[in-house]
Structure 1
Amino acid sequence: MKPEELRIALFSGNYNYVRDGANQALNRLVEYLLRQGASVRVYSPVVEHPAFPPTGDLVNVPSVAIPGREEYRIPIALNGEALADLEAFAPNIVHVASPDVVAHRAVSWARRKQIPVVASVHTRFETYLQYYHLGLLEPALRALLRRFYRRCDAIVAPVDSTAAVLRAQRMHRDITIWSRGVDRDQFNPARRDMEWRRSHGIGDGEMVVAFLGRIVMEKGLDVFSDAIAAAERMQVPLRVLVIGDGPARPWFEEHLPKSAVFVGSQTGTDLGRALASADVFLNPSITEAFGNVTQEALSSGLPVIAAAATGATSLVQDGVSGTLVDPMEIDQYGAALKRYAEDPALRARHGAAGIEFARTRDWDNINSVMLKLYDRVIERRQRLQASFGPRWLPS
């Protein structure tokens, strides 16, 4: 099938109202698909003041704010207006990017219409529960996710380590890797700005340890702060630079050293400058299916200390471009920070290796995988229907 013959309905729980790595990857994918001549329609909650303009045509679906996390919204219905728009658009493939209520409805609609469905996995939602002391519900959530993904024709994961977990959890047999690129113009060591550091009271000789992302507990804020405390017990001289904002910022400020620098949310070249002006990137999160921020740090020339979990294990080469740490071994984080503080040459070698890795991460090459996948699942569905009749798959 030629790209211009594709009509893709994309369902996302957050396409542009809050900025994160997942929705930025989806917007880049849509931009690529439109450039190839495909037609794309995006169905997602719409807010009055989104984080950034959407790429492509965006159709609102009803949603409610998450209690206690009002910045995020839960899609709750594929209502008459959105459904009429979907029917009129007449997609020949449906792409669901979050396992919410509307995505379930979209999958059911597609199965009734005998339209193939692809699901992309961006976040390991089941791991969130432990951060909110709901770990007992994890098996039930995994069962719900398994039912959702098995009703799709194929799923995509961003890295091999995430795909391996999905296979072990029996989410699907057909799993393709759709990775993530990095904007090497935005994220590169040339963005490093010593004057910018000095303007925030950071000395030229201080080792700066960066955090980048939404300041929410599921990003491993407790482990990050404990790791910094462990390094301080080991008498490691460092400064903490926090890039980002979020509802847990007061907690983070309270649990980090008073000398920590919070610069808030940054975008564009300002974000590239802030990240490249650090010396080490510390990412203890275990909830990432990929970890865009880890790749951005590597592209910026920073050695990465990360939890040995999905995402990071496919991006960071332990002992080459950074250090992988047992997620719960706080002292290992402290020891890694100590090694980098005592050996600037090691920091430089690992940073250079990260830059070389980032040079292989071209967005267009990566997004072309989705075109091939769409074509494959459509062709497979057509072949099965030809062999077994138009109602071969139960709805």
Structure 2
Amino acid sequence: MSDPHLPEGLPTEVKGLRVALFSGNYNYVRDGANQALNRLVGYLLRQGADVRVYAPKVANPAFPATGTLVGIPAVAIPGREEYRFPLALSPRVRRDLATFNPHVVHVSSPDIVAHRAVSWARHRKLPVLASVHTRFETYLRYYNMAWLEPALEAMLRRFYRRCDGLVAPSESMAQVLRAQRMNYDIDIWSRGVDRDIFHPGARSAEWRQSLGIADDEVVIGFLGRLVMEKGLDVFSDSIDQLVRRGIKHRVLVVGEGPAREWFAARLPDAVFAGFQGGPDLGRAVASMDVLFNPSITETFGNVTLEAMACGVPVVAAAATGSQSLVDDNVSGRLITPGAVRQFAESLRCYVEDAPLRARHGAAGEERSLEFSWDRINQAVADTYLRLVRQKAAGRKR
């Protein structure tokens, strides 16, 4: 049914909606943010929308792109060559955009090309939605440049305030964005969990044994890319506390990344299982006894939700993302970021108290049942349509 308040040709439902999505990393390196974007595009396509994705391309991406991917000029980031830095909204890309003629532009990282895409959309009076996937301003703390954080925050504020609306993965992150005055039109685009992969039944004693982990050993797990901004220093310092106190445990690290050598040197007795995907990842997470996630850079914390779905209690930093997932002293512990002694004490409690692990793990699994991917992605589609209506109404006034 048409909406009499909208100009002719503008969509009133997801079917027929044209979305131009800009991403700094859509599929060349696997992480939680780009996997969420691919899931979103898949959902939109199934609902009858038309989506074109503009992002850097590489010869051997981490996984196939969902939908139509248009390559944009990019170079490797110095010191982090696995990532690409988008350079420009080239004439070729501009022509492609004009031919596609989107109803809405979605930008997912505050890079140069995203800035140009926002300008392109504003010039044409098209609505712009920005999705916030990570707390970029906190990264500087891990590279001895924390003094630059206020300047970076100001740059991010300029970018996000040029957008018509934002979507954040958690209410705690939305509150941070409001406090930072990034924007005041903020909806929630949460994250879902694949229950076919992440569930307590995926636990495997045989797999643990193949890694040299005995059935009676309590495993403290780390899950994620091995980069310093994931809190590897806090993780290893906390484990050191347990070792000094003689608390028997094993550390299982699941993931790969440029800081693996550093992490392995700090945790010489840890088991490094490398990258795991699909059912193998579900097995790895379910085979942990507690997940330790000290990172403060996530806006949601996919790994936290995946552990909860597997019935694994979580010890996490009381930061954006985890605060919206973990109920402190119910499904895990939320600890002041960087508080190594408190992290270690919480881990000790789980290591030494099997009934506590079981009770908190069960509570986390119950909470994880609330996260359905289709319902979550429909919230983004609804935001697109709302922004289209608002922009059209503004043009008519």
Give the TM-score normalised by structure 2.
Answer: 0.96
Give the equivalent residue in structure 2 for 1:300: 310
Single out whichever of 63-72 and 231-240 deviates more from structure 2: 231-240
Partners of 1:175 and 1:94 in 2: how far apart? 16
Residue pair 2:294, 2:338 contacting (<8 A) in 1 also: no
Give 2:278's aligned amino acid: G
1:246-269 Cα distance to aligned partner (Å, 9 max, x none): 11001000101x221001111111
Residue pair 1:184, 1:358 contacting (<8 A) in 2 also: no
Give the equivalent residue in structure 2 for 1:90: 101
Give 1:91's aligned amino acid: P
2:206 to 188, 195, 212: 195
Alpha-carbon offset, residue 329 of structure 1:
1.2
Q: Secondary structure at the match of 1:137?
A: helix
Q: Secondary structure at the match of 2:15?
A: helix
1:37-93 Cα distance to aligned partner (Å, 9 max, x none): 000000000000000000000000000101111000110111111111111100010
Partners of 2:389 and 2:16 in 1: how far apart? 13
Partners of 2:16 and 2:192 in 1: how far apart? 25
Partners of 2:304 and 2:246 in 1: how far apart? 26
Partners of 2:126 and 2:276 in 1: how far apart? 40
Q: Secondary structure at the match of 1:316?
A: coil
Alpha-carbon offset, residue 3 of structure 1:
1.2
Partners of 1:88 and 1:328 in 2: how far apart? 50
Residue pair 1:236, 1:337 contacting (<8 A) in 2 also: no
Is it true that 1:240 corresponds to 2:254 in the alignment? no
Give the equivalent residue in structure 2 for 1:275: 285
Alpha-carbon offset, residue 4 of structure 1:
1.6
Structure 1, unpaired ranges of 5+ = 388-395
Give 1:275's aligned amino acid: V
Partners of 1:158 and 1:41 in 2: how far apart? 22
Alpha-carbon offset, residue 300 of structure 1:
1.0
Alpha-carbon offset, residue 332 of structure 1:
0.5
1:161 to 161, 164, 172: 172
Structure 2, unpaired ranges of 5+ = 1-11
Partners of 2:319 and 2:241 in 1: how far apart? 21
Give 1:286's aligned amino acid: I
Give the equivalent residue in structure 2 for 1:376: 386
1:162-217 Cα distance to aligned partner (Å, 9 max, x none): 01110000000101111000001111111100011011110110000111111000
2:231 to 199, 213, 220: 220
Alpha-carbon offset, residue 2 of structure 1:
1.8
For 1:110-121, what aligned pairs fall within 5 Å after superposition?
A: 110-121=121-132
Give the equivalent residue in structure 1 for 2:364: 354
Partners of 1:255 and 1:350 in 2: how far apart? 29
Give 1:239's aligned amino acid: R
Residue pair 2:23, 2:109 contacting (<8 A) in 1 also: yes
Give the equivalent residue in structure 2 for 1:340: 350
For 1:1-395, what aligned pairs fall within 5 Å after superposition?
A: 1-256=12-267, 258-387=268-397
Alpha-carbon offset, residue 288 of structure 1:
0.5
Give 1:296's aligned amino acid: E
Give 2:256's aligned amino acid: D
Give 1:294's aligned amino acid: T
Residue pair 1:8, 1:38 contacting (<8 A) in 2 also: yes
Partners of 1:108 and 1:231 in 2: how far apart? 52
Partners of 1:271 and 1:225 in 2: how far apart? 22
1:357-383 Cα distance to aligned partner (Å, 9 max, x none): 111111001111011111111101111
Aligned residues: 386
Partners of 1:259 and 1:276 in 2: how far apart? 21
Q: Secondary structure at the match of 1:156?
A: strand
Give 1:305's aligned amino acid: V
Q: Secondary structure at the match of 1:215?
A: coil
Q: Secondary structure at the match of 1:288?
A: coil
1:331-355 Cα distance to aligned partner (Å, 9 max, x none): 1111011111111000001110111
Residue pair 1:305, 1:323 contacting (<8 A) in 2 also: yes
Partners of 1:81 and 1:231 in 2: how far apart? 56
Q: Secondary structure at the match of 1:64?
A: strand
Give the TM-score normalised by structure 1.
Answer: 0.97
Give 2:309's aligned amino acid: S
1:278-335 Cα distance to aligned partner (Å, 9 max, x none): 1000000000111111111111111000000011100110001100111121011110
Residue pair 1:234, 1:334 contacting (<8 A) in 2 also: no
Q: Percent identity?
A: 62
Q: What is the root-mean-square deviation of aligned Cα atoms in Å?
A: 0.7
Partners of 1:235 and 1:365 in 2: how far apart? 46
Q: Secondary structure at the match of 2:253?
A: strand
4+ aligned runs moved over 3 Å, structure 1: none
Give the equivalent residue in structure 1 for 2:9: none
